[in-house]
Every structure is written in C-alpha cells, then in structure tokens.
Amino acid sequence: MSASATSLPGTAGETSGQPLLRIEDIRKSYGELEVLKGVSLTVAEHQVVAVIGPSGSGKSTMLRCINRLEEPNSGRIFLGRDEITARNARLNELRRNIGMVFQQFNLYPHLNARDNVALALRKVLRQSKATAYATAEKTLSRVGLAEKFTAFPAQLSGGQQQRVGIARALAMEPKVVLFDEPTSALDPELVSGVLAVIRDLKALGYTMVVVTHEMGFARDVADHVIFMDHGQIVEQGPPAQIFSAPKSERLRDFLSKGLGH
C-alpha cells in the first residue's frame, strides 16, 4: 500500500489517475417517486470524491446503487472493466472490491471487533482463521484500535465502532471505499477521530466516495466535490470552486444555510 504520488492535494487530484468507477446515467424510482434522475459520475483511481446536498436529495441511494444494495432502474455502473450493473455480474465478487461504511455502523453485535473484520475474510476470501485474524488485527491497529480486538460493539464508543466499521471495509482490500455519512451518528467530540482516519486513508492512496455533511472536511480532504439536489448532480468541481465560487443558485442556497449543518 504505497502512498501514491498521483493523489497530490489540491486541484491536481482533479484529473489525475485512471478512471476507476464510472456511473452512467443511473435512474432510480420508488414507485412514483423518482429519486435519481440520471446521475453520471467518474471517479479516478486514488481520488477522493465528496458528495454533499440536502437531505432526501438521493445521496445515499446513489451510493447504494454502486454496490447494488439498491437496483438502479436504468443506467450502467463500471468498476474498472467490470460492469457492476450487468445482468450476469458476479455480485459477491464485485462487492468485495467495494468497501462500504455505514452511517449507523451496522457492526455485527454478536461478534467482537476482530470477528467483525474477519468474517468476510474467512467466508468470502476463504482465509484460514489464523490468517484472517492476523489481517483483522493489523487493520484494526491501523485505525487505532490495537487494544480492542476482543471488545464487542456494545462495549465500544460510537467513534470506536465506526472505526471498526472502517477496518471491516478496508480488510478486504477494496478498490474503492464508499462512506455514507460516516460521522452523522456520532457525538460531536468523536467526529474528528473518525475523520482523521479517513484523512490517513487518503494519504495512503485509497479511492473513496464520501457522502458527508461535514463541509469543512469536504473542503480539506476531497479532490472533487459533487453537489446533489432532487436526484441530480447540480454542480461539481474542485472544493475551492464549489465552496468559494458556487455557480448555481441552489448550491449557494445550500451553503448559506450553514456550513456543517
């Protein structure tokens, strides 16, 4: 895992790297309600993309379409050369290349931290128990939980739980990691610890898509910011442009309603 030279901070990150994740015109409706009205997006290797927008604008839905927790009604999604949305896609194999971190952590309460991380290693990658545990411990240490291997989720603070959630996603060595408001369920004093972990991951060259309400974080860490509203990408660009010189009325409106909610 080498810190990549291509993920230089600032606007340089904008265009660098091979396209890794490609979303082409996806649409999604729940009955009458059209939640995604044709969303297209390309994420380059080593790029960090922040997705912002008002509540109900379709951010989570877009993210969940990427690993097909939701089925888009139309449009195509590619990870490298593989089409995720293909009818015969080998979903389980594709999904292990896409890590996901949830707002509510979704840790398995009946398993301790190490087993939370090791489960997919053992069942999907068929690693031996010893190998899986070694990987799990290494990954947990990396997110600052070296002392908590055998703690159960209920014994951990929200911030620690979310770091286990991140370790669970990282352990599979995914090509891209999706974060759905990873800090929204946390007490304010625990937010910075989790954001620091994500910042470290960027330094290590991870490709990430982060839905967030933390505008300060988006501005500092993202290479590229997407503003969604009413199921569409209204505006996108480097953080400097999005936050300092918003073009659209809706984005200006959104930003003026208070940075960081």
Ligand X SMILES: Nc1ncnc2c1ncn2[C@@H]1O[C@H](COP(=O)(O)OP(=O)(O)OP(=O)(O)O)[C@@H](O)[C@H]1O
Q: What is the C-alpha to C-alpha distance for residues 228 and 57, in angstroms, rounded to an integer?
A: 6
CB of 133 to other proteins, least distance (A): 16
Measured CA to CA, the distance from residue 179 to residue 193 in angstroms comes to 15
Sequence-distant (6+) residues with CB within 8 A of 180 are 59, 60, 63, 64, 100, 101, 102, 103, 211
What is the CB neighbour count within 10 angstroms for residue 207?
A: 23
Exactly one of 7, 60, 116, 183 binds Mg ion (CB under 5 A); that residue is 60
61 binds, among Mg ion, ligand X, other proteins, none (CB under 5 to 8 A by kind): ligand X
- In the list 23, 41, 46, 58, the residue contacting ligand X (rule: CB under 6 A) is 58
What, of Mg ion, other proteins, ligand X, none, does residue 127 touch, CB below 5 to 8 Å by kind?
A: none
Binding site for other proteins (CB under 8 A): 67, 69, 92-93, 95-96, 98-100, 102, 104, 106-110, 119-120, 123-124, 165, 168-169, 172
Residue 103: DSSP 8-state: T
User: Which of 30-38, 74-82, 112-120, 201-209 is the region at the interface with ligand X (rule: CB under 6 A)?
Assistant: 30-38
CB closer to ligand X out of 59 and 219: 59
- The answer for residues whose C-beta is within 8 angstroms of residue 79's C-beta and 6 or more apart is 20, 21, 94, 97, 98, 175, 176
Q: How far is the CB of 238 from other proteins (least distance, A)?
A: 29
Nearest partner of 35 among 233, 234, 232, 231, judged by Cα: 231
Q: Which two tokens stand for residue 118?
A: 């090791």
Contact stretch for Mg ion (CB under 5 A) within 58-66, 71-79, 132-140, 244-252: 58-66
Nearest distance from residue 110's CB to other proteins, in Å? 5
Alpha carbons 49 and 222: distance in angstroms, whole number: 5
Interaction site with ligand X (CB under 6 A): 30, 33, 35, 53, 55-61
